[in-house]
Amino acid sequence: MDSIGKYIRQYRTERKMRQEDLAEKANLSPNYIGMIERGEKIPSLETLIDILNALEVSADMVLCDVLKTGYKVKSSVFSEKISALPKNEQERIYDVVDTLIRHAQ
């Protein structure tokens, strides 16, 4: 469950938000946000929803490591990130992934 806090921190920093900013938007204390991000606390469903709404992310993006379908979500997120790159970078990444898959079989 530590991954929930890890992803909350990741999406918060991607949005250039401080813990204080997220806490204010989610009506929580900055200390509580810090405890969640460090994996010391697991938020209630209601609190998690408030955090996700404040970050403007879906639950599957934060829960991808604890859900059985998490790899589908990760694959989708990676696909979006890769598609935003220049074509030459996309090809380079796909070549690396293809090589890894061939060696895993």
Mean predicted lDDT score pLDDT of the chain: 89
**Domain-wise residue ranges, the chain:** 2-63, 70-104
Contact criterion met (CB below 8 Å) for 1 and 42:
yes
Provide the Cα torsion 22, 8, 67, 59; round to 10°.
30
Is a pLDDT exceeding 80 seen at residue 2?
no
2-63 under CATH 1.10.260.40, yes or no: yes
User: If we measure between CA atoms, which residue out of 56, 91, 61 comes closest to residue 74?
Assistant: 61
Q: What is the pLDDT of residues 6-37, one digit of tens each?
A: 999 999 999 999 999 999 999 999 999 999 99
pTM of the shown model: 0.66
Q: Could you give the 3-state DSSP secondary structure of residue 69?
A: coil
